[in-house]
Structure 1
């Protein structure tokens, strides 16, 4: 974790309060820990660390190579109102563990202007800090210096929280939204500017499937799944709906990729055998479903099926089919886009475009253009071409421009204004 900016009240987290930190600096107090989530506001910061086996006996022991680990909450900076959760209002100039959350397995933190909130793995919510506007959700306006369970939401499984300057928002696993705290400017969404000290269901969004919430000082926003309301107002999951899936389940599914012991189909990819489960492939991919029911030799369970893509990219395809997620590196993006198009995986294909747009830069744009051109991938070529034309003065002086063929260079020049 690295921090920079204002040091007043310990905001930068480096242990001192004088001046400013003008460049990113490693936060030494957390140097040996893996930070998995951050939240910051004007006067304090919170982070979650992923703790592996043997590091804290208070946690359930988990193998270090597993996707699931236990989380700890760490808060630091200005402690006024108890927003750091350490049981007092003292400032804390470097990260300090919130000991009262040990064993509760927090999975998300949120920092507001004067308060903080935590959601645990079992969907419960704890709040602490300033309660002047009812933003803690305990039915009063009293500060809490330690994390306190929000009783009004007990029994409702939460999957995301967010804190504004003086209000709070919670999203349930059913896609419903609760808001409370200071209602000025209408930011709670209940039709008035009144303060609310206990979580209230946002009636205007009932029947819609909200998948993400966000809030700032004086407003709130929700991301709603399109076409998630049926006749009569009952909600159904639209294609691609986000639902809570445990990290353990995803890890176990990923472990099944290319597992010979439990496979019933084999592929030959670059001369190497790759194993899979026909049921998963057929259910998740129409291309494979059609292949297995075609009556052709590929439908015979005993036949090893040749695959015309690289071994690395085919494993990425399988990982996506098994887990519905995959980490896409830029070096594989073009070929994975082509493979996704071949296997009719539109979402994965779009993910490749997103990765390229986010990762493209002056050092790799020329290489990406040449790769896309040679692979006859017009979409990726267009993305790279657009970037190069818009940043030609920089890219033309880079080493990467040498990778571009003469014909492509002429094409770039023809597109320049």
Structure 2
């Protein structure tokens, strides 16, 4: 992160000269660069603008205090506990303090924010909570701290004594960097940077994955079927655990009385077991409700299984399902799923920005995904879940200043500050030579002795070249999958490997039956093997429709021959 900030700072200085001043479009006048750099680390990881006022407990904070909030978590059996961090990396807590879950060293409730001094200066990477409640927190440095309810050793400190202050877990984790945490009702999981899962706490149903039902007082690595796997995502239901590995497979263990493990049975599982019904489907994320499970695939499809008494599976009925069942949300691709082990509520966000909810919503049973007026899945849990807790650690982006990254983004295609313009398809694109030379090896050499202020470009279209230049300012792209193919061509030509990966990601997100063959052809042409495999799997999974498209009928002969051969090898044409 520090290297990234240093580069962005240098770029900003280069753009605006040694004075360190940059023109702003508000009423504040010129702003010193140091004002922008100081808070940038707190904001680069922010997710979005968020109205924390949707959670009633925030009404206990003053307006001045709310302005400082950068991260927040609302938890507790009645959503009456709050932890938040400030722009100064201070952590504050307030609420009823059940079982010392505020970490203040006592069990006294407080309606005024109190600073958690023992963690001052620590930057929170992720946080989860149990039903007791207990807290598991990981810092950006990969350290793990726990406190709160501990009757089942869910704090991992080797005892069953309540943890009134944060406890730094070092046993079996001292040389590990934790990047994700998850809590069930009374058990805890952590995921390390090398893809290992560690578990501890309540184990009456095998939820710590040790092979027995004895409680686990300290962190132990979950092995078995996960021994040689690289885990990329974890989640917990009330008494079950889930892990997604880098191959897209899902492994599950623990309580299965409602079919929440997706194994086609209701028997508990004391060690990790692969969800065989998802064979051939690559899962990216998993989310657990009280007794139901959601997964999101790399094609933007959602599958659900488990308890369904409130319609939380989104199937249109209230029958439990022990096998993965597809959840239909119009025709838009899903990019985010949300569930929380303390609730029977489900939510999802589409690529088009629409947010859906289903399950128990303010006491009502919503059995099919319902389109909301929200822009965030977080709002669903604030307004409709019972209790109204947060399903993840919230990140709040301040709006009273521009970060370095935001300032650079604003200067793209700005004729007032640019010293170079590209002429593409009769249109100008305004840029800054120094930024292009810093960000791109191609421009570093091509612009070295070039004193012209206009460069004509005919090799690529205007949308593609504009997207490329904008990428150099923003590190992101926003294109249709068809245009992303053109950008993939450019990225290959300029040897921009990161841009190439972003193009492939965009193409994956926009693939459909109509364009699948065209995108497969592009992947083959530009030797994008991962994308080629993805497009091929998509075509096989939607073979009947794909073979009826004009793209298939006009398919290159050699590509068609190879496609049929490969499809035959995977059994696509068997009866």
| TM-score category of the 2 structures, normalised to the smaller one | 0.5 to 0.7
Query: Could you tell me which residue of structure 1 aligns to residue 452 of structure 2?
Result: 302
Counterpart among 99, 119, 139 of residue 105 in structure 2: 139
Note the 1:275-354 alignment, pairs <5 A.
275-293=430-448, 299-302=449-452, 304-307=454-457, 308-327=459-478, 329-354=480-505
- Measure, in 2, the Cα distance between the counterparts of 1:383 and 1:372: 9
Is 1:365 the counterpart of 2:516? The answer is yes
Q: CA RMSD in A?
A: 4.1
CA contact (8 A) 1:184 1:195 kept: yes
Q: Deviations over 1:196-241 (max 9, x none)?
A: 322344557778776x433222224255499xxxxxxxxxxxxxxx
User: Paired residues, what number?
Assistant: 308
Q: Distance in 1 between matches of 2:479 and 2:156?
A: 38
Taking the TM superposition and a 5 Å limit, the aligned residue runs for 1:155-304 are 155-156=120-121, 158-165=123-130, 166-172=133-139, 176-182=143-149, 188=155, 195-203=162-170, 212-217=179-184, 218-222=187-191, 224=193, 248-249=402-403, 250-293=405-448, 299-302=449-452, 304=454
C-alpha displacement of 1:388: 0.4
Do the aligned partners of residues 154 and 321 (structure 1) sit closer, same or farther apart at CA in structure 2, a change above 3 Å counting? same
Indicate how the Cα distance of structure 1 residues 192 and 315 shifts in structure 2: closer, same or farther if over 3 A, else same. Answer: farther
Q: Distance in 2 between matches of 1:187 and 1:197?
A: 14
CA contact (8 A) 2:91 2:115 kept: yes
CA contact (8 A) 2:180 2:192 kept: yes
Pick closer, same or farther for the CA change 1:251–1:283 going to 2, 3 Å. Answer: same
Q: Which consecutive unaligned segments of at least 5 residues does structure 2 have?
A: 1-25, 27-45, 196-395
C-alpha separation in 2, matches of 1:194 and 1:209 = 26
Cα separation, 1, equivalents of 2:464 and 2:194: 30
Aligned residue number for residue 100 of structure 1: 61
Of the three residues 507, 516, 523, the one matched with 1:356 is 507
- Scaled by the length of structure 2, the TM-score of the pair is 0.45
SS at match of 1:268: strand
Q: Secondary structure at the match of 1:357?
A: helix
Distance 1:392 1:222, change over 3 A: same
Structure 1 gaps, min length 5? 1-52, 54-66, 77-83, 87-97, 227-243, 294-298
String of CA shifts for 1:117-164, please: whole Å, max 9, x gaps. Answer: 3334443434345533332222223445x4734332574153544222
Q: Which has the higher contact order (CA 8 A, sep 6+)?
A: 2
CA distance, structure 1, for counterparts of residue 551 and residue 121 of structure 2? 56
Map Cα deviations across residues 264-308 of structure 1 (whole Å, 9 max, x no partner). 333333333322222222222222223334xxxxx3122533443
Classify 1:328/1:272 alpha carbon distance in 2 versus 1 (closer, same or farther; 3 Å).
closer
Could you tell me how far 1:178 is from its partner in structure 2?
A: 3.6
Match of 1:302, SS?
coil
**Take 1:245 and 1:206, find their aligned partners in 2: how far apart are those partners?**
32
**CA distance 1:348–1:182, shift in 2 (3 Å):** farther
1:85 Cα deviation from its structure 2 partner: 1.7
Partner in structure 2 of residue 81 of structure 1: none
CA distance 1:409–1:305, shift in 2 (3 Å): same
Contact persistence 2:147–2:163 (CA under 8 A): yes
The CA distance in 2 between the partners of 1:70 and 1:120, in whole Å, is 15
* 1:39-78 equivalences in 2 (<5 Å): 71-75=50-54
